[in-house]
Structure 1
Amino acid sequence: MGAFLDKPRTEKHNLHAEGNGVRYGLSSMQGWRVEMEDAHTAVLGLPAPGMADWSFFAVYDGHAGSRVANYCAKHLLEHIMGASLGQAGPDAPASDSAAPAAPTVETVKAGIRTGFLKIDEHMRSFSDLRNGMDRSGSTAVGILLSPEHFFFINCGDSRAVLYRNSHVGFSTLDHKPCNPRERERIQNAGGSVMIQRVNGSLAVSRALGDFDYKCVDGKGPTEQLVSPEPEVFEVVRAPEHDQFVVLACDGIWDVMSNEELCEFVKSRLEVSDDLETVCNEVVDTCLHKGSRDNMSVVLVCLPNGPKVSEEAVRKDAELNKYLESRVEEMLSRAGEDGFPDLVAVMRNLSTDIGMPSLPPGGGLASKRSVIEAVYNRLNPYREEDGSAAELEYHW
C-alpha cells in the first residue's frame, strides 16, 4: 500500500514539444511517496512508413517498484507497432520485406491489444521478475493519435479524458477489482475481492507485470487474477470541436474528477500558453488538495484548444493581488493571539465571501503558492520555526 515521507518531494520533471498539429506538456512529481514509480512516453511522429503524422502519449503508474513502469515507457510502443505493422520487436530479427502501409483501424486496435500481451509475456522472462525478487507492476493509459482517429488505451486505474466542445467528451474506464466484470474474472481464477482489492492486496484488476497474480494453471493471460489486456476505444476526431486530452495517474484523479480537472486546465490555458506551467499547476493543486501519491500528467493540446484571453489574464492577476493583500492584512493584525500559521490563513481565506472567483476545479488550493509566497515573506519566525512549506499540505 506504500510508505510515505515526512514531507513531500516537490521537484518536478517536465517536458514539452509540438508537432503533427498538437502541442504537449507534461509534469511529474514524487510527492509524499518514498519512491518515484511513475513513468511516461511522448512521441511525435512514429518511426514507420505512413505514420510520420501519428503520435503516441502514455502514463505508467508503477507499484511495488518502478521496474515495470520504466521498461514499458521505453518499449511498449515498439511492441504495439510490431503487432500492428509486423515490424520487428526488441528481440525479433530485422526483416528485408517491403514496409507496409499505414494500418487500418481494426489492425491498430488488435495490434495494441497484442502489444500489451507481448510485452507482458516478454517481461515475465526477466530473472528478477520471474523469481519474485522484483514484484513490481504498472498501470498504463495512453493515446495513439492518427490524423483521423484517437485510440484511447487503458489497463488499470490511470485515466485519459478528451475535452471536446467545452465538455468532457470521452473518458477511459478504470479497472477496479470491485467492477462486476473484473470481479467475475478474479473469482473465476480462484481469487477474491476484499477491501476493494485483489485478494485484499492489489488495488487494480488490470496491469502489466504483477506476475504473482498471473500464475493460475489452466488460465490464459487474460483470465488471470490480474489481466494485462487493455481496453481500446476508437474515437473519430472532430477538429472543430476537439480541444485537449489529459492523461494522468490516479494520484491526480484521487482528488479531482474528470470535469474538475478539465475545467481547471481550460482556465489555466486561458491564462498561459506554457503547457509545462499548466501541468505544474495541476500537480501542485492536487498536492494541496491532499493527494498522497506520485503524480504525473500529460496535456495534449489540439488546434482548437483554449487560447490565452486578455480578460482571463487580467482576472487572474486581480485575484492574485487580492489574495496577497488579504494575507498581508491578516498577518498585520497578528497580536496577542500570536502569529497565525499557514493552515489558519488558508482556512480564513476559504470563508472569505468577498473573494473574486477562484479557478474552477482548482479552488483555493490552486492559489496555495501565491498565498505561501506572501506568508513566507512576511513571516517573522520563518528562520526559527521553518518555512510554511514544512507545515501541513492539506489544510
Structure 2
Amino acid sequence: MAWACCGMRGWRQNMEDTSLMLPNGYLSGDWRDWALFGVFDGHGGEQVARFAVRRLPQVLAELPGQDAEVALREAFLRLDDMLRQSSVGNELRELTLPGNEPQDSAETCGTTAVCCFIQGNEMILSHVGDSRAVLCRQGAAVALTADHKPELPEETARIEAAGGFVQEGATAMGSGKEYRVNGGLNLSRALGDLRYKSDPKLKPAEQLVSAIPDTSRLQWQQGVDEFVLLASDGVWECMTNQQAVNFVRARLPPPGSKKGLQKALGELLDMCCASTPAQRGGLGCDNMTAVLVRFEVPCSWKTCSPKSSGLSGKWYIKSQGCFCSPSHGPAALLAAVTLP
C-alpha cells in the first residue's frame, strides 16, 4: 500500500478535522498485521475528533482478533462510552488546539468517523456521520459508505421513536436545504454529542443520535481496485464521488512512485476550496481532510520510505508514505504517524 493525507482549514476559523494513518505493524495486540486509516470531522470543537484518533488504536488493541468487523463496531461504541466518564474532561481540554476554545465535555462536541481496516486483500469499513469512503475500481467510483442524515427514513424513524423530530431548514449560507435533529445537529449518527444520547431508557441504537456504525467487509482485487479515498464532507459537498475519483486518478503518479500522492490530494482540496466565502453560496468553505490508500504490488525496501512534511503554514496538514510489509516496521513509521 501507498498512502497519503492532506487537510485544509479552508475559510473556517478553526480546524476541527483530523485523520488517522497506521499501516501494518503499528497497531498492538491481535491487530498488529492490520492497517488502519480514518478521517474524523469534528463539530462543536476539535476535541472529540482528536480523542477518537488518540484512543481508537488503544481500544482496538484490547479487543480479540477474531472478527475485525465486530471489533471495529465495538471500538466505536467503547469510544462513545468513554466520553461519558467524568475523567474525560481533562483529556478533552488537553486535546484543544492552541488558541481554540477549550471543551471539557462531549455534550455539545462530537465527530464523524470513517475508518478503513485492511489486512492483505481484506478490507473492513466502519462509519458514523457523513465522512465517506469511496473505492476507485478501474476508474469507476464505488461508494463504500452511505451518509447518516436525519432525513433518511430509517434515521427519521429512530429519531421520532426517541421522542425527537427532524427539522427542515436552509443551510447556513442559504445554498440549499438541510435537516437537523431537534433543529440542531445535521447528522443522525456521531461519536460524542451526548446531549442527544441522554435517555436512560433507550439503548445506544435507539437514541436520537446513535454511535452505532454501519460496517461492511469486502475483498479488494489487485489490478482492478486502484485506491480508496476517505474524506470529510467539505470535499463531498463540492464533488460527487465520481468527480473526486476522476480528479485524483488523473493526478496520481505511476504505480510504485513514492512521491505525488500527497500533491494530488492537495490539488483536490484546492479545487474544492472556494476563492471567497460567498463564491459558491457557502460551498467550499468548510474544513476538508482526505486520506488516500493506493493498492500496489509489493515494493522493495529501497523504494519504500515513509515520510512526513508535518504542518505547512496555516492551511495544510500533509503526510504520505509507502508500506508493504511489517518488516518495514513501526520504527520507520514514527516520523510519518503522530498521534495527538
Same fold (TM over 0.5): yes
1:325 match:
none
Give the match for residue 156 of structure 2.
Answer: 183
The separation in 2 between residues aligned to 1:57 and 1:111, in whole angstroms, is 15
Name which of 144, 167, 170 aligns with 2:117: 144
Offset, 1:135: 1.9
Aligned to 2:144: 171
Q: CA separation in 2, counterparts of 1:155 and 1:285?
A: 26
What's the offset of the Cα at 1:132? 5.3
Match of 1:40 in 2: 19
Contact 2:27–2:61 (8 Å) recurs in 1: no
1:194 aligns with 2:167: yes
TM-superposed deviation, 1:125: 0.9
2:296 aligned residue: 303
AA aligned to 2:195 is D
Q: Which residue of 1 aligns with 2:203?
A: 220
| Residue 315 (structure 1) aligns with | none
Q: Is the 8 A contact 1:82 1:115 kept in 2?
A: no
Which residue of 1 is the match for residue 325 of structure 2? none
- Please say if residues 61 and 139 of structure 1, whose CA atoms lie closer than 8 Å, have aligned partners that are also in contact: yes
Aligned partners of 2:3 and 2:268: how far apart in 1?
Answer: 14
Shift in Å, 1:34:
1.4
Deviation string, structure 1 residues 180-219 (Cα, Å, up to 9, x no partner): 1111111111100002110111010000000010001310
Matched with 1:108 is 68
Are 1:256 and 2:239 matched, yes or no? yes
Corresponding position of 2:85: 125
Structure 2 Cα separation of the partners of residues 185 and 75 of structure 1: 28
Distance 2:244 2:73 in 1: 28
DSSP-derived class of the 1:217 partner: coil
SS in 2 for 1:157: coil
Counterpart in the other structure of 1:279: 265
1:153, 1:231 within 8 Å by CA — same for their partners in 2?
yes
Contact 1:81/1:115 (8 A) holds in 2: no
Alignment check: 8 A CA contact 2:9 2:286 kept: yes
Following TM superposition, by how much is the alpha carbon of 1:109 offset from its aligned partner in structure 2, in angstroms? 1.2
Contact 1:138 1:208 in 2 (8 A): yes
Higher relative contact order (CA 8 A, sep 6+): 2
Q: Contact 1:80–1:116 at 8 Å: present in 2 too? A: no
Call closer, same or farther: CA 1:75–1:50 in 2, change over 3 Å.
closer
Q: Which residue of 1 aligns with 2:305?
A: none
Partner of residue 230, structure 1: 213
- By how many angstroms is 1:284 displaced? 0.6
Amino acid corresponding to residue 273 of structure 2 in structure 1: L
Deviation digits for residues 86-129 of structure 1 (CA, Å, limit 9, x no counterpart): xxxxxxxxxxxxxxxxx34xx21111111111111011114548
Would you tell me which structure has more helix in proportion to its own residues?
A: 1
CA distance in structure 2 between the partners assigned to 1:171 and 1:109 by the alignment: 14
CA deviation digits over 1:26-51, x for unaligned, max 9? 11011111111111110012434664
Larger-gyration structure (1/2): 1
Across the two proteins, how many residue pairs are aligned to each other? 264
1:1-395 maps to which residues of 2 (within 5 A)?
Answer: 22-45=1-24, 46-48=26-28, 51-83=31-63, 85=64, 103-104=65-66, 107-126=67-86, 128=89, 135-195=108-168, 196-270=179-253, 273-288=259-274, 290-303=283-296
- Structure 1 unaligned spans of 5+: 1-21, 86-102, 305-395
> What's the CA shift string for 1:151-174, capped at 9, x where partnerless?
011111000011112212342110
TM-score (norm 1): 0.63
Partner amino acid, structure 2, of 1:44: P
SS of equivalent residue, structure 1 residue 111: helix
Tell me the distance in 1 between the aligned counterparts of 2:29 and 2:75: 19
3-state DSSP of counterpart to 2:45:
coil
**Per-residue deviation at 1:77?**
2.4
Does the Cα contact within 8 Å between 1:252 and 1:295 map onto a contact in 2? yes
CA positional deviation for 1:81? 3.4
Tell me how large the CA RMSD over aligned residues is: 2.2
The answer to whether the 8 Å contact 1:160/1:246 transfers is yes
Check 1:35–1:229 CA distance in 2 against 1; reply closer, same or farther (3 A cut): same
CA shift in 2, pair 1:238/1:131, >3 Å: closer
Query: How big is each residue's C-alpha offset from its partner over 1:279-304, in whole Å with a ceiling of 9 and x where there is no partner?
Result: 11011110037411100000111117
Aligned-partner Cα distance in 2 for 1:133–1:191: 20
SS in 2 for 1:32: coil
Residue 131 (structure 1) shift: 7.8
**Which amino acid is the alignment partner of residue 292 of structure 2?**
L
**What SS class does the counterpart of residue 269 from structure 1 fall into?**
coil
